[in-house]
């Protein structure tokens, strides 16, 4: 059965999408795993980093994005079909990475988010729209080794759909004061959901992202995070650190064809770091 992990932080811009995309590439490309990326964010950043905008628009018009799944919840229809919506062999590395698939998002999700919340039984999480994704994926999950869910920076009903199927969550964090303050909040909300929905979900780890080795603040914050982490209470802080690097930002451009993971994510530093991240991830999930 697939190992399902949500990449989450309630703070925006900490590298959730970037990390999801990179980790998925390395699990598929270096470890030979069958990986599904689920883009739960109406910003559709992960989608647009894995397929061209033109391809996404075609799919969105045809009702083959997550918009359709949630629209079905409102309309009482069942038009969404996961195996049709999933795009196989995505990425711009030599025309697509075998084993790397995407369930695309849609910017139209913004519009229906609030309406879905109104029909959801948020207090008990019993049945209903919180489990729409779980029901839709029932038939396809057995085909994957790993599912990575790119979450938006909120815990709305769409995000909860991802949490409800996840065994683990991973928190990317930029090592500055404001960003690290958000971590206890994520842990608290996950624990609360686990309790109320009777669903076990584990903090797999915290990954330092967009790290600037020349910044005294970043250095001190990481040192403090490692010093203050209480084993068994806090998720482990990954030994791997992802540096801020221009190549990493540029890796989101899917329009230009590249030939290898190293080409895409930037030779040397970023390539080694993401490769290390995937190795560490595999060690923690025992896969």
- Long-range contacts of residues 193-200, Cβ cutoff 8 Å, at least 24 apart: 193/125, 193/155, 193/160, 193/163, 193/164, 196/123, 196/124, 196/125, 197/125, 197/130, 197/164, 199/163, 199/164, 200/167
* 249 binding ligand ATP? (CB under 6 A): yes
Residue 178 C-beta: closest distance to ligand ATP, Å: 13
Residue 165 C-beta: closest distance to ligand ATP, Å: 19
Residues in contact with ligand ATP, counted by CB under 6 A, come to a total of 20
* 222 binding ligand ATP? (CB under 6 A): no
* 248 binding ligand ATP? (CB under 6 A): yes
Taking alpha carbons only, the member of 48, 281, 29 closest to residue 167 is 281
Asked if 160 and 196 count as a contact pair (C-beta separation under 8 A), the reply is no
Stretch that binds Mg ion, among 11-19, 67-75, 169-177, 205-213 (CB under 5 A): 11-19
Among residues 3, 9, 15, 16, the one that binds Mg ion under rule CB under 5 A = 16
- For residues 53 and 39, give the distance between their C-alpha atoms in angstroms, rounded to a whole number: 14
Among residues 3, 8, 25, 41, the one that binds ligand ATP under rule CB under 6 A = 41
* 30 binding ligand ATP? (CB under 6 A): no
For the segment 43-82, give every residue that binds Mg ion (CB under 5 A).
45
What track of x and - describes contact with ligand ATP for positions 167 through 206 (by CB under 6 A)?
----------------------------------------
């Amino acid at each position: 059965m697939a190992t399902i992990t949500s990449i989450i932080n309630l703070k925006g811009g900490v590298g959730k999408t970037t990390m999801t995309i990179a980790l998925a590439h390395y699990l598929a490309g270096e470890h030979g795993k069958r990986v599904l990326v689920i883009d739960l964010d109406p910003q559709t950043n992960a989608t647009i980093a894995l397929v061209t905008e033109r391809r996404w628009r075609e799919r969105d018009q045809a009702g083959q994005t997550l918009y359709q799944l949630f629209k079905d919840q409102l309309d009482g229809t069942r038009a969404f079909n996961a195996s049709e919506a999933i795009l196989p062999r995505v990425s711009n590395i030599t025309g697509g990475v075998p084993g790397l698939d995407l369930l695309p998002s849609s910017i139209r999700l913004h519009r229906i988010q609030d309406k879905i919340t109104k029909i959801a039984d948020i207090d008990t999480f019993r049945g209903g729209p919180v489990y729409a994704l779980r029901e839709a994926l029932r038939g396809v999950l057995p085909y994957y080794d790993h599912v990575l869910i790119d979450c938006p920076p909120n815990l709305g009903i769409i995000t909860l759909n991802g949490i409800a199927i996840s065994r683990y969550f991973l928190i990317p964090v930029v090592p500055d004061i404001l960003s690290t303050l958000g971590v206890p909040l994520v842990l608290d909300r996950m624990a609360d959901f686990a309790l109320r929905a009777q669903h076990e979900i584990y903090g797999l780890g915290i990954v330092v992202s967009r790290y600037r080795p020349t910044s005294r603040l970043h250095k001190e914050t990481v040192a403090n995070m490692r010093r203050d982490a209480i084993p068994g209470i806090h998720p482990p802080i990954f030994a791997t650190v992802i540096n801020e690097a221009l190549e990493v930002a540029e890796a989101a451009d899917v329009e230009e064809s590249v030939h290898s993971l190293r080409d895409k994510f930037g030779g040397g530093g970023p390539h080694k770091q993401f490769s290390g991240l995937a190795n560490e991830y595999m060690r923690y999930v025992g896969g």
